[in-house]
Structure 1
């Protein structure tokens, strides 16, 4: 008979997400997970099936908790351009107040694994598609409200917004300060 679990699975996933987000998949060892999660190797493997399975669940948790913050802001009320600005400034705030400068776990995963790991690439592709779809919906709303010229291609603008967000998240990891990334936001908003 299996023994009952003596840990909070949601908290373990949150901690695992932090470890993978900070270190990346390849640099995270099973011992890192044991040390930082407070679980024995047996418990870790019995509960999650190993490092890879835990990484996939942690990346899913990131999508469900962290990445959704941007789409929530885009879905809020008020002028759409202001919501887009607020969403981009939220990302700036997250990046520049994070002492580890982790950036975006999806972007980190794409740069680390996408060329060699089709499953990781597909997981990130789904997250990026979700964000781009939120941009499309917001931009269509902006067109209906007269904030954006109805002749503009909202799919192209949404792709531009997504690419800018990805670039901002990478740039923020190495920027000396916020000014450079804030200029990116200002320039992007001017194009809308």
Structure 2
């Protein structure tokens, strides 16, 4: 009979998420993970098999938590479709500025991973692709709601507009990491919102 685990697996995944978010897969060592989680190498690998498995778990956790926050905004029935998009873009600006002010400045874990070598791993690609499909679906739903209530131009394909907003978010994340200030990011988001108006 094996000894019971003496740690909370969710807490370990959360700690690993923060480390991978800052350093990416390639920039995070096993020693980094051991320091962040408080586990020995043997405990880490007995529990998670490999660094790769822990990375996938951390990425999935991040994607699910972020999706939950964004979905709550984009499915808010108390707002017009355009107001939902505007609220999402304001959240992105706050995330970027808040992270920088708190000394994190790590951007978006999924955006960072999309542009890294880790993307070539099939398990990582599966998490990223599922996250993208879900995000585009929720964005498209908010856009359709906006077209129905008249706040978003009805002469454009909702799927294309969903990709547009998604690209705007990704670009803002990268710009935020490049040091672009609040005023510029807010201006970019405002321009993006105006492009959706009837």
Q: Which runs of 5+ in 1 are unaligned?
A: none
2:128 maps to 1:124: yes
Q: Give the TM-score of the pair, scaled to structure 2.
A: 0.92
Count how many residue pairs are aligned between Structure 1 and Structure 2: 192
Cα distance between partner residues in 1 of 2:97 and 2:154: 35
1:71 and 1:50 map into 2 onto residues whose CA distance is 31
Higher relative contact order (CA 8 A, sep 6+): 2
Q: Partner of 2:193 in structure 1?
A: 189
Equivalence map 1:5-84=2 (5 Å): 5-77=5-77, 78-84=79-85
**Within 1, Cα distance between the matches of 2:127 and 2:57?**
11
Distance 2:75 2:149 in 1: 15
Q: Note the C-alpha offset of 1:124.
A: 1.2
Q: The residue matched to 2:60 in structure 1 has which SS?
A: helix
Query: How far off is 1:67 after superposition?
Result: 3.3
The answer to whether residue 185 in structure 2 is matched with residue 175 in structure 1 is no
Shift of residue 149 of structure 1? 3.0
Greater shift, 118-127 or 139-148, is seen at 118-127
CA RMSD, 1 decimal: 1.4
Q: Is the 8 A contact 2:86 2:193 kept in 1?
A: yes
- Cα distance in 2 between the residues matched to 1:45 and 1:183: 46
Distance 1:115 1:21 in 2: 14
User: TM-score w.r.t. structure 1 length?
Assistant: 0.95
Contact 1:140–1:154 at 8 Å: present in 2 too? yes
Distance 2:157 2:7 in 1: 50
- Kept in 1, the 8 Å contact 2:81–2:147? The answer is no
